[in-house]
Structure 1
Amino acid sequence: MTVFHGIKVLDVASYIAAPAAATILSDFGAEVIKIEPPGAGDGQRLLSSLPNVPQSVHNYGWSFPSRNKKGLALDLKTEEGQAVLHRLAASADVLITNYPLAVRSRIGLDPGVLRSANPRLVYASVTGYGETGPEAHRLGFDATAYFARSGLTDITRADADAAPVAPALAAGDHPTASTLFGAIVTALFRRERTGEGAYVSTSLLANGIWANGTVVQAALCGAEIRYRQPREQPRSALSNFYLCADERWFSIAMVAEERLWPAFVSIMGIHDLALDARFAALAQRRTNAAALTLELDSVFLQRTAQDWQQRFESAGFTVSVVSRPIDVANDVQARHACAIVPAAGVDGADFTIDSPFQIDGVTKCKPQRAPEVGEHSDAVLAANGFSTDEIVRLRRDGVVAGMQAQP
């Protein structure tokens, strides 16, 4: 039996952070019902076609975070649609939403009403900037609320004059989803002890600040926050990136520099350079980091990145070739780490991204195809006590839509 067998989750959310939390629950056996508007459905379905994302004939932006879910197309702008939602929520364990706070009551998502009818319900909320305060109703994406507002975008600039660089696609949404999952599971654990549900929440802003926590805490302590230096002007030449003979970048993070310096000299074959007064001691290497980087550039160009990785790792150094996305997709170790797992029917791929943790002795559900808009509408309603006549009427009135059930 899976961990969340018998747990029913209503995914009444859009795009990534909130629905991805439901995906993690589905990986461990929860029944997740994806509720989206009739017609176009969740805007997440269009993500793969945006101009600033990797282009593909496959809808990877939908299939990855929407696996294992049952699709119900329900018009929450109607009173009838809201009544359907409330009937489903009355027996649900978890409801997840990231709809703006200002519209939730208008579409039947008022947490007080839902939790009053079902005191065991865990109502899970994601917002851009938090639940209270003067900016609680502001809309936010991870690029704005998670990265820009948290300071992450600023501290990754090379210097004060460098323009910010756009973050990786959805790189803030998925960590936020993991946080929301943790909040939901904590509330479910509390419910096991008390019998009571809960209202749990997180925000893109809070998660961005958490991710940037070391630097923000430094600011709270009054520290001077310096920008990252260009690669050619590092604070340490031995925690830097170097281009290799195969035109691949190589990353070395030499924290224990004093101890590892002799081994570094041996691996690199720079015994003469080590005698140079500019680099002979730690303090001098830091003062002359730019000059040392320039010297090391020509040495790293003599071998491939993989060759350097093998040499350094055999001596106990912490290093890595800088992977490209295609490298990650074919990474054997990523398969062993269960970061990338086999999938059944995923659009355009035989593998997909797994949720980032395992439980010893627990087998996750094998990823299944993401639903079409309203693919399971009739089956979901029937399983939740709606009669055939009710389902026919809801379809006739446009409240429910999607693929017609087979006779």
Structure 2
Amino acid sequence: MTGPLEGVRVIDLTQALSGPYCTSILADYGADVIKVEPPRGDMIRHTGPFADDDAHHDFGNVFQNANRNKRSIVLDLKTEAGRAVLIELVRGADALVENFSTGVMDRLNLGYELLAEINPRLVYTSIRGFGDPRGGASPYAHWPAFDIVAQAMGGLMSITGPDSDTRVRVGSGIGDTVPGLFAALGTVMALFEAKTSGLGQYVDTAMTDGVLAVSEIVVNVFDATGTSPAPMGNALQGFAPFDTLRARDGEVALGAPHNAQWAKLCDIMGRPDLISDDRFDSDHHRWENREAVYDIVGAWVGRHTVSELVDLLGGKVPLAPVLDAAAIFADPHFAVRGMLPEVENPRTGRTTHVTGPVTKLTRTPGRVRHRAPLLGEHTAEILAEIGFDAERLVPLVAAETTHP
């Protein structure tokens, strides 16, 4: 079986996480993603974690996860030879994705307008902290950004934390990966439209915009009330019970904010009297009387172990144990869903787990076919494919690479 993007060629000029995450999604679903790296390589190659016996420290797990299914070519785009090869790659490409700072590609004479003249059907996608002026000229367009900047200015940090005095960053790189998801979706939409029109277009994604889009409570609450929502720990405004609760031997996440769920929970707790109690007889009343709700439910939860709660509530009321990494690796859900596939780690000779494709297509599924590439591993191969004398050009455009 082939992926739905089989036959699509993507030139990947991205580094770090947001861009590589975007292009890894395209690669998972069959696109031929050619990762163009500078002679020093993608900066994220040297970011751990690394296995204890990995003496090279140039193929970290973050890089492996975000660059599986890709091929690597080394081009120095500051040289004429490197730019000439990139232009030839663009001639036969369907899409190009980059996440340089605003203006970098233009200064290299590789901006969208020039490349669109060379290949009018090219879909050109950029991911920047505050977007590109082509999509809307932000006053912060030239500001550099990381995940934490996007989370802060996109509103997510304003609603995350135990209370309004302690704003925290979400533990994973949401400020990178969510914009990467939006950029992948935008790229696919533009590719779909190009099938009809024969023309590509510019696809502009701002990291801060992506974060705001998934921080919907920021917009919804302020628009309705004129006040800015504050962090509430693991609770959600307007919903009760909806929180993490302490069991005898751990924590569980529990949500039963609507009447049908509340009624099931009350029956399982042996408290059917609470269903008709006028303090708890509607979603809104339970929210208004949430302290009483949590006193009752919290006391019941606290008398049980996590395992007992799973047996009592699992499949009946929305409930989940709070799984750490070890528990996730042992849980049958992630195994049967193919969410932890293994690929080779060329630096240790063992295998490495990466996250698998999330969206399951039954006829043309995405899959992790091979590990991330070593730096410049496919330079000669790719040059030969586009008609260059690889033996002559490799020293001009690529760094000397090392292989295990």
TM-score computed with the length of structure 1 as normaliser: 0.86
Instruction: Name the residue aligned to 1:267.
Output: 268
Where does 1:235-384 land on structure 2 (aligned, <5 Å)? Answer: 238-246=241-249, 248-257=250-259, 259-269=260-270, 274=274, 286-314=287-315, 316-338=316-338, 340-346=339-345, 349=351, 351-384=353-386
- 1:225 and 2:228 are equivalent in the alignment: yes
Which amino acid counterpart does residue 159 of structure 2 have in structure 1?
Answer: I
Shift of 1:370: 0.8
Match of 2:139 among 110, 134, 141: 134
- 1:143 and 2:148 are equivalent in the alignment: yes
Which amino acid counterpart does residue 148 of structure 1 have in structure 2?
Answer: A
Give CA deviations for 1:268-299 in whole Å, capped at 9, x if unaligned: 24579x59989675577545433443444343
Match of 2:399 among 398, 401, 405: 401
Does 305-314 or 178-187 show the bigger shift?
A: 305-314
In the superposition, relative to structure 1, how do residues 189 and 280 fare at CA in structure 2: closer, same or farther (>3 Å)? closer
In the superposition, relative to structure 1, how do residues 345 and 237 fare at CA in structure 2: closer, same or farther (>3 Å)? same
In the superposition, relative to structure 1, how do residues 306 and 225 fare at CA in structure 2: closer, same or farther (>3 Å)? farther
Where does 1:89-108 land on structure 2 (aligned, <5 Å)? Answer: 89-108=90-109
Q: Which runs of 5+ in 1 are unaligned?
A: none
- 1:175 and 2:178 are equivalent in the alignment: yes
Identity %: 26
User: How many matched pairs?
Assistant: 390
Separation in 2 of the partners of 1:322 and 1:223? Answer: 34
Is contact 2:253–2:320 with CA below 8 Å preserved after alignment?
yes
Separation in 1 of the partners of 2:195 and 2:238? Answer: 52
Does 10-19 or 104-113 show the bigger shift?
A: 104-113
Separation in 2 of the partners of 1:275 and 1:25? Answer: 49
Is contact 1:237–1:290 with CA below 8 Å preserved after alignment?
no
Separation in 1 of the partners of 2:335 and 2:42? Answer: 30
Shift of 1:195: 1.0
SS at match of 2:97: strand
Instruction: Name the residue aligned to 2:35.
Output: 34
Instruction: Name the residue aligned to 1:120.
Output: 121
Give CA deviations for 1:244-265 in whole Å, capped at 9, x if unaligned: 122x2111111214x4445423
Is contact 1:377–1:401 with CA below 8 Å preserved after alignment?
no
Q: Which runs of 5+ in 2 are unaligned?
A: none
SS at match of 1:95: strand
Instruction: Name the residue aligned to 1:153.
Output: 157
Is contact 1:237–1:289 with CA below 8 Å preserved after alignment?
yes
